[in-house]
Amino acid sequence: MNSETMVKIPVIDFSNQDLKPGTPEWDLVKVQVQQAIHEYGCFEASFGRILEVRKPLFGAMEELFDLPFQTKQLYVSDRLFRGYTRVSLRLQESIQIDDANVAENIEQRLTKVLWPQGNSNFSKTLFSYSELASGLEKKIRRMILESFGVEKYTDELIDSTNYTLRLIKYEGKPQSNEPSLLAHCDQSMVTLLYQNEVNGLEIQTKHGEWINVKPSQNSFVVITGESLDVWLNGRLNSPKHRAMVTENKARYCAVLFANPKGGYQVKIPEELVDEENPLMFKPFDYDEFWEFYASQIAKGDLSTGLKAYSCI
Ligand SMILES: O=C(O)CCC(=O)C(=O)O
Ligand SMILES: [Fe+2]
């Protein structure tokens, strides 16, 4: 099952701070993005600025997960699987916060609950991370939309994004060969993942092979999700992935999901529908979809997601 392979996902350099639409530099990077998502549905985005937040970020995550269980449990969300979750069997814990690119939101909805006496460094660190990652995500999304000729929708889509931050801790020393996170496709538009030095992410290729992803310290792993696939009328291939943690050290992962905002109807652009490409999916509201998906997760079924929910 865990067939080790030498294949690597492509690495694309986003370090150029002046990367602007319409410039030759932009177009060069865009072609690489296009090829990578066509072949793998994902890639590694190298982005040196992330090193500025690396140390505080993983420090903040340690501080968070070191809190007593009873304290972490105080952080609940109005939506199932969007607050604090612990899967003891898999030695995995995670916390999710919606609209993580809004500083006030992190402070009021998360930090104040966990540290009533205040912990502004924690809020600042999470915000800096989300700001960097969401800024990069916007560029990547614009490039993807340009490569499908539907860039006129970029602003509308970006404006209706809920950046959900998911912080995960996988305890070292798993007891079995079972994945620490079961195979799934992300339900987001785009996901950016940043990890500490402990590897574990595996991505499945179109041919069914599992690739071990070993990102460098200055890279995000960028994964396309089913919301984008559906919006592009099935033109993408959002890859299945899982986490297999085999090291004895804890693995920390900060995952930023660019999800559609609840209340916004995600609808396939008419330019992407014609005789050869008939309409494949109904419009959907992400929060309504989530009610359905949460019940699937509760049953342990991560494979029946948005594509199944909204297909015609
Ligand atoms: O831990 C990882 O590397 C994967 C996390 C993930 O796929 C997710 O949270 O959706
Ligand atoms: Fe995922």
Is the distance from CB of 279 to CB of 234 less than 8 angstroms? no
Residue 241 lies in a domain: yes
Distance between start and end Cα atoms, the chain = 33
Q: Does the CB atom of residue 168 touch ligand 1 within 6 A? A: yes
State the closest ligand 1 atom to the C-alpha of 251, by its place in the atom list counted from 1.
1
> Has residue 159 been placed in a domain?
yes
- Judged against a pLDDT cut of 90, whether residue 118 lies above it is answered with yes
Residue 177, in any domain of the structure:
yes
| Residue range of the domain that includes 288 | 11-310
Prediction pTM value: 0.95
What tokens were used for 238? 């959002």
Give the number of domains in the chain. Answer: 1
> Which pLDDT score is estimated for 5?
58
Query: Considering Cα of 219, then 167, then 176, then 246, what sign does the dihedral take?
Result: positive
Distance 23 CA to ligand 2 centre (A): 32
> Beta partners for 252?
169
Best residue among 165, 171, 193 to mutate for probing ligand 1, ranked by most atoms within 8 Å of CB: 193
- pLDDT for 50-104, tens place per residue? 999 999 999 999 999 999 999 999 998 777 778 898 887 678 899 999 999 999 9
Whether 2 maps to a domain, the answer reads no
User: CB-based contacts of 52: which residues, under 8 Å, 6+ apart?
Assistant: 128
Helix axes 120-147, 51-65, angle to 10 degrees: 120
Residues with CB under 5 A from ligand 2 (ion): 186
Q: What is the distance in A from the centroid of ligand 1 to the CA of 162?
A: 18
Residue 1 inside a domain? The answer is no
Domain CATH code at residue 196: 2.60.120.330
